[in-house]
Amino acid sequence: MFPCLWEILSTQTMWSCLIVAAAALVQATVGFAAAMFGLPLLMWVGNDFVESQVLLVTAMFPQNLFNLWKLRHKIDLREVALPVAIRTAAMPIGIAGLALVMTWPQGTIQQLVGALILLALGVQTLVGTQWRSARHPVWMGVVFGGSGVLQGLSGMSAPPMVLWVHAQRYTHDRARAFLFAIYCSNFVPQILLLWWKFGNSVFHSMAVALLTLPGVLLSATLGLWLGSRLGERWMRPAVFALLLWIGISSLLQPWLHGVVLPWLR
């Protein structure tokens, strides 16, 4: 099922590897945003929506395991059991939505990605607000159910969870450990659902993702170091500004074809 190495080596593959490594750096530093950063860039270099998601999900899995192991003393795995169950149960809805989206023109899909990034950034601006009822079962269902749908649809599922985590007043490292545990738990269900819906082409993207692992693990190490030393005060505004530019560029991509990052093509 997996293609031969010479079938996957190409300029597009090389760009994809660099983008995934950069996404790993962002995710390890702030605890989220790998998909928000990497998904539109992977589409810009020629991957379709599903291929881009599989690349990121596969490459981020060992990185998230590595990060979780490094931060294992900051998390009680029992507190993630219910969020994981809710997210996993909601994910098939997102996969069904993804199948529908894949019938759209590529330019329209890029606009959807841009809109989702901007929406996610809007949610992120609420981080830090008081939310005393965050642990209420209804809110947990909304947050993690919505996150599961977004994960299946686009892979950009972190913003609702980040808002919820910060409402718990977790430390920066504990918040990252919680998010990494959630990401790790959903890898197998998501890959199986994607394979069921889109067939063996999923394994081609997984094979490409294997090429990114050295760069991903190196980026994860650097990102953890930066995140622990610089914290959110410096890193979050920089990541926010970068994602804002990417989101606007994706939203306007049909009119900016050949202008936005033309050297990636």
Tens digits of pLDDT across the chain (265 residues): 545 544 456 788 889 999 999 998 888 887 778 899 999 999 989 899 999 999 999 999 988 898 899 888 988 888 899 999 999 999 999 999 999 999 999 889 989 999 999 988 887 676 655 555 566 778 889 899 999 999 999 999 888 888 888 777 788 788 889 998 999 999 999 999 999 999 998 998 998 898 888 888 898 888 888 877 776 666 778 888 888 888 888 888 767 655 544 444 4
What are the distances in angstroms from CA 258 to CA 120, 138, 250, 264? 26, 46, 12, 10
The span from the CA of 26 to the CA of 88, in Å, is 24
The span from the CA of 214 to the CA of 38, in Å, is 17
Q: State residue 181's pLDDT score.
A: 93
Q: Which residues contact 125 (CB under 8 A, 6 or more apart)?
A: none
Strand, coil or helix: 135: coil
Q: State residue 137's pLDDT score.
A: 76
Q: pTM here?
A: 0.86
The span from the CA of 164 to the CA of 142, in Å, is 10
Q: Which residues contact 193 (CB under 8 A, 6 or more apart)?
A: 91, 92, 95, 152
Q: State residue 135's pLDDT score.
A: 67
In the block, tokens 């530093």 appear at 29
Neighbouring C-alpha atoms within 13 Å toward the C-beta of 40: 29
CB 164 within 8 A of CB 134: yes
